[in-house]
Structure formats: structure tokens, C-alpha cells
Amino acid sequence: MIDVRAWLLWVLTTLVAASSTRNPLYVVLLLLVAMVVSVICAPARGWRMPLSPLRFAAVAVPLATLFNGLTAHPGDTVLFRLPGWLPLLGGPVTLEALVFGAINGLTLTAIFSGFAVFNQVTPVRDLVRLAPRAFHEAGVVLSIALTFVPQTTRSLARIREAQAVRGHRARGLRDWLPIVVPLLVSGLERSMGLAEAMVARGYGAVSDRAQPLRTQEVLAMGLLALLGGWLTFLFLPSWKDVAVGAMIGGAGIIIGVVWLAGRAVPRTIYRRSHWTARDTLVVLGCGLTLAVVLLPLPLTDRGTLYYSPYPGLTLPAFDPLIGLGLLGLLVPAVVSATRQAEDKR
């Protein structure tokens, strides 16, 4: 199993790669990579995503195409014209605007696919475990909240199946009482059982420790530095370097304060996660993709990352080296397939 930190780097790399290009060929390649990773690395228990990337694309691509085609009017290939008295919509509707909107929809689908795969292959408990120790209370609340929704959904499905066997059909509001009441009772029973288990494990036995005033002051300074740097970056372009330095300094102060505050929080780890060679390979693959997308490497044409159908529609260019670099996101599928082949032997 791949470490959750490697998966986190993978989904962030997918986000950066999809956000750094408007070339539809590269975006489609990212979609295919996410699809392969989802098929190979999906858990064996058959968990289904509430909204698949294909359904998301069926909604996002037409909406983005229609919105951009009606609101953006540049382009040489005019399909038809809307009356000029229509606010924002009046003017020519061009083929180039529709194509650019479709590309934006594909980009959103690629980003959604990356996060869908991440949600599919990463257990919630591993994500909560990454929370800093200073936020352990929020981590517990988040863990309970994230597990409550799927448990309630499964309970609702079981209750509806049981009522259907008895011949019950929900046609009006009163007919939902035999479903809602058992659902509430089962939820209360789970809550009581969880509370008893937490008390038995000593949760809440240690009194809360208030943070020193100095820690709170330093944290406030870091937040002010981050906010001040961001506002300076937006409204004073001539002070751009100072603004970036202030934001980096403020972020560093916040991270340092959170780390120091977390050291004072005791935590028991029953099962430590071990970093393996497979996780290192995933990190190297993500590093290759980031290097190809962000760095001006020799022999690569970074100009192919930026595609615009304006003013006239042309075919997008494709650099094989950049395409190979994007395939670095396939490393999780490769290592998972290798692991599955070894387990079958």
C-alpha cells in the first residue's frame, strides 16, 4: 500500500500539472493517467465514487463550453450572432470561444479526477493522522464527521431494504416515519457506543492545556505578516519582493508555532506507517512531472503547454518529452500492479 504522504504529493502534482496547461492533448493524457491509476489502485472492496469523473465531465464540459461561448466573443469563425441589446451575451458566438470553454471544462475534469482518485485510494484515518498535533481535537471531530456520513448512508440503505421486504413504500411524508425513526435510533446508538469507547480509552481524561501568551502573540504576528504581504502583493506591485518575503516569513512563523505547540501534545501511535521504496518511486515520478511542467528543461518545448484557439482555430502541438514527463503520474499504477503480481505468486 502506498503511503498517504506520497498520494498527497501525487494529487498536488496532478493539480499543478492540470492548472499549468491549456493544451487539450496534455489534459486528455492526464485524464487517461488518472483513469488508469483509479482502475489499478482502487481498493478491492468495490467502493464507488458518489460522482464519477465521466459524469462530472458530462456536466462541466457542456456548461463551460456554453458559458464561454456566450460571454466571450473573440475569434474568426463566427457561428451566429446574438442581439446586441442582450447584456454580456450580445455579440458573435464563435467556434474558438466554444473550443476554449470546452478546454476549460476538460481541465476542471482532470483536476476533479485527481481528487476523486485520491479520495478513492486514501483511507480517512490516514488523512486525519497527517493533521498536526496542535489540531488533534479538530482531527478527532473531522474523523468522526467524515465517518458519520457513509455509515448513515449504509444504515439508510439497509432500513429501506428491510421496509421494502415488508411491503412498505414511501409515498408521502407520513410514510417516511418507519424509515426516519429507525435511522435516528441507529445513529444515537452509534453515538453512545462511540462515546463509551472514547471514555474507555481515556479520551478527555487529561485537562486542556492553555497555550502561553507568548505563543499566541507570535502566531498573531505570523498571521499579520502573511496578511500584510498578501495585501501588499495585490495593491503595491512595486513592492512585490517585499510582499513575497513577508508572506514567506509569515508562513514560516505559523508553521513553526504550530509545530512547537504540537510537541506539547502527547499522542500514542499504535501502528506506524513505514516509508518504502515504492513510495520513493511515486515521489520521483511526481518530481519528474513537476520538473517537466514548471522548469525550462533542455530539449523540451514548454510553449506547447500554452494553447489558445484565438484568433483562428489551429491544431495543438504536442511535445513527446513533456508527454513522457506527465506519465510520471503513472508510477502509483505501476508499483501497485507489480505488488499485485507479486502477491499472486
Domain ranges for the chain, please list them. 4-207+274-344, 213-263
Region 40-56: mean pLDDT is 74
pLDDT in the model for residue 45? 59
Q: Which one, of 194, 199, 30, lies nearest residue 115 by Cα?
A: 30
pTM reported for the whole predicted model: 0.75
Question: Within 13 Å of residue 242, how many CA atoms lie on the same side as its CB?
Answer: 9
pLDDT in the model for residue 89? 85
Region 299-325: mean pLDDT is 92
Lowest mean pLDDT among 7-21, 104-118, 215-229: 215-229
CA distances to 141, 171, 337, 345 from 334, in Å: 36, 50, 5, 17
At 269, the pLDDT band (50, 70, 90 cuts) reads low
- Report pLDDT digits (tens) over 52-75: 888 999 999 999 999 999 998 898
* Length of the chain counted residue by residue: 345
Give the C-alpha separation, 250 to 221, whole Å: 7
Q: Which amino acid is at 253?
A: I
pLDDT in the model for residue 153? 83
Contact present, 262 and 134 (Cβ < 8 Å): yes
Residue by residue, what is the 3-state secondary structure of 258-287? Answer: HHHHHHCCCCCCCCCCCCCHHHHHHHHHHH
Pairing of strands 91-94, 78-82: antiparallel
pLDDT in the model for residue 44? 63
Query: Which distant-in-sequence residues (6+ apart) come within 8 Å of 86 by Cβ?
Result: none
Give the C-alpha separation, 184 to 186, whole Å: 5
Q: Decide if pLDDT at 317 tops 70.
A: yes
pLDDT in the model for residue 194? 84
- Report pLDDT digits (tens) over 192-233: 888 888 888 777 665 555 567 777 888 899 999 999 998 988
Give the C-alpha separation, 253 to 27, whole Å: 37
pLDDT in the model for residue 22? 92
